[in-house]
A and B are shown apart, each in its own frame.
Chain A
Amino acid sequence: MKLLGAVGLLLLVAWGSGCGPSGTRTGQGAIIQPGERPDPSGVEADTWMAAEKFEQELKTSGRVMEDPALNRYVHGILCNLVPDYCSDIRVYIVQNPDFNATMAPNGALSLWTGMLLRLDNEAELAVVLGHETTHYLHRHTLQWWTDARAKLDALVFVQLAAVMGGAAAGMGRVGSAAGQVIGYLVQGRILAFSRDNERDADNTGLDMVARAGYDPREAAEIWKALITERDAGDKSRPSIFFATHPTEEDRIAYLESRAQRLVDGREGLTVGRAPYQEAIESWRGVWLRDELQRRDFKVTQVLLRRLIEQGSNLDELYFFRGELYRLRGEDGDIDEAIASYRKALDTGNSLAETHRSLGLALARRGDRAGARHSYENYLRLRPDAGDRKMIEFYISELK
């Protein structure tokens, strides 16, 4: 494989793996200017070319959420943060249940839906966007590439690119590509992540957030929630986000400290919980279903507990809590599932699917009459259900 090919792959990998390790603003010139494009003869142009190819593939991958209202909302917050770069940065909402956000050197910013599901408010979203935007403004990917080239010999590049193959070329493969890259990062075969550059993105991002009128104190809340999930989760399945970002708890401390300095003497900063929740409301169920497909039940348990504690959309949340226990199927889970479905039904606003799932759970526990009743309720509420004939068969078997 030509070295140039390997270069391209690695640049894509850097994007796919998250914010990526990066250099400081020094050594790579000034902050990128609005509308700026790289010198076609320079190294930076290579990084942009690779990113543009990846961006094109992302657009046709079928994984970018096209909801105009949601995209407008998210991009609007970005524009509040960096009005001069509003048209330079393109935000893609990628349907992927993992918690991650990535920034390409050419200004293509990807937000994964697992992140949007977990964020609580507009200020938290602004924090993420500010962090990623800093990677773009400060040309961190270019620095990453320059560092990588200096540290790795050509043989390693070729071997690495051969292993990665085409895996980094399409957005559909980002998950698996990122997993492989993380493996290399963890093994120390590429680079260690730079604490300085993550801190740069944190600090500059917080400044942007505060300047735009959002409450920067929300930054620490993101990390607290994530660390709680991480500690509950399966250690053999490290989060992509944690694999590409420093996880030290002291990060919370410095985020809190800097945020406090930024808000001292200021009033009326926006947290924006209601507009954020409204913006994602119609997608929350879809994203929770995706979340359950990960089968990382302990993490999802923590997430659902947190969302339920917030007290809204309880019908939906108790339904998914029931789904979690029913799908996991460990000792005692089926009773937990039934209890959760019943709580969802008690809200008086439950989904038809709650009745079906309750029927499945009751059938598994041997409650034939209860299962039949639940299935009948499901068909009554959803007469055109795609599985109607199957449910009718269950009912006939339970009589």
Chain B
Amino acid sequence: MKLRNGAGLFLSVVILCGCAAYKLVGPERHEITGVYFVEPQIAWSARQYGEKMEVWTVDGLQLEAVFFLKGLKDGEPLLYVKERGGSKHPPEFKSYMNANEVLELFVASLTYAGRGQVQVKDLRPAPFGKAPGYRFEYSYLTVDGLEMEGFALGAVLNAKLFLIMYEGSSQYYFEKYRADVEKLIASISLL
């Protein structure tokens, strides 16, 4: 399977899932998977990838995107790669994982997807709505050597992993919508 250049980790899901067309998400309050609301701040183009992933972008997935991972169950991988001629086994989420172990899963998944020089920092507690969660910052090189920067907010709710990741090219696009996404994650309201 070919991973798309420059785009985020979870685009690898694209290949397996029937992909719906883009839909407009306005700045008004928006429900994510029946579990929480967010206030998107600005208008985004949104696309669903299977049941577990929703991706929002303004300028294009390869430039910047917000990824909503919606309730990963025990044993499910952050990404799923199906190679020709044999199965591959990407790293899987386990419901016992704490913040450090989710971080390890995240790094392993990026590496598995062919990203280089994956760096993470500042793992710390952070609220996911009113639930206890965690946050970390990250960076990596795409398969083309493009430097990407991002942050992730996560929580395990009812034994399922929820993550919101925002990332963009270090040059320009990451900063372009950073403040909007900071407000977005601050607006999380659990149902």
Q: A60 contacts the other chain (Cβ, under 8 Å)?
A: yes
A237-B88, A295-B90 known; A390-B124 Cβ under 8 A: yes
Q: Secondary structure of the A side of the interface?
A: helix
Chain A residues whose CB sits within 8 angstroms of the CB of B120 once the complex forms: 386
Residue in A170, A183, A237, A329 whose beta carbon sits within 8 Å of that of B145 in the complex = A170
Number of interface residues of B (CB under 8 A): 40
Contact residues, A69-122 vs B (CB, 8 A): 95
B88 with A389: CB separation less than 8 A: no
Contact residues, B94-120 vs A (CB, 8 A): 94, 96, 98-101, 103-104, 107-108, 111-112, 114, 116-117, 120
Chain B residues whose CB sits within 8 angstroms of the CB of A167 once the complex forms: 2
A61-B116, A290-B111 known; A390-B125 Cβ under 8 A: yes
A186 with B85: CB separation less than 8 A: yes
B111 with A360: CB separation less than 8 A: no
Chain B residues whose CB sits within 8 angstroms of the CB of A290 once the complex forms: 111
Interface string of A363-399 (1 = CB under 8 A from B): 1100000000000000000000011011001100000
B142 with A172: CB separation less than 8 A: yes
Chain A residues whose CB sits within 8 angstroms of the CB of B111 once the complex forms: 290, 293
Q: Complex: how many Å from CA A99 to CA B116?
A: 17
Q: In chain A, what residue has the closest Cβ to B94?
A: A329
One of A132-140, A173-181, A336-344 at the interface: A173-181
A363-B98, A386-B121 known; A238-B112 Cβ under 8 A: no
A295 with B108: CB separation less than 8 A: yes
Q: Secondary structure of the B side of the interface?
A: mixed
Chain B residues whose CB sits within 8 angstroms of the CB of A327 once the complex forms: 104, 108
Chain A residues whose CB sits within 8 angstroms of the CB of B101 once the complex forms: 360
Chain B residues whose CB sits within 8 angstroms of the CB of A394 once the complex forms: 98
Q: How near does chain B come to A113, taking the closest CB pair, in angstroms?
A: 12
B143 with A386: CB separation less than 8 A: no
Residue in A175, A179, A234, A293 whose beta carbon sits within 8 Å of that of B89 in the complex = A234
Q: A166 contacts the other chain (Cβ, under 8 Å)?
A: yes
A176 with B114: CB separation less than 8 A: yes
A179 with B2: CB separation less than 8 A: no
What are 11 A-B contacts with C-beta separation under 8 Å? A57-B145, A63-B141, A172-B142, A176-B114, A179-B84, A186-B85, A237-B88, A293-B112, A295-B89, A295-B112, A389-B125
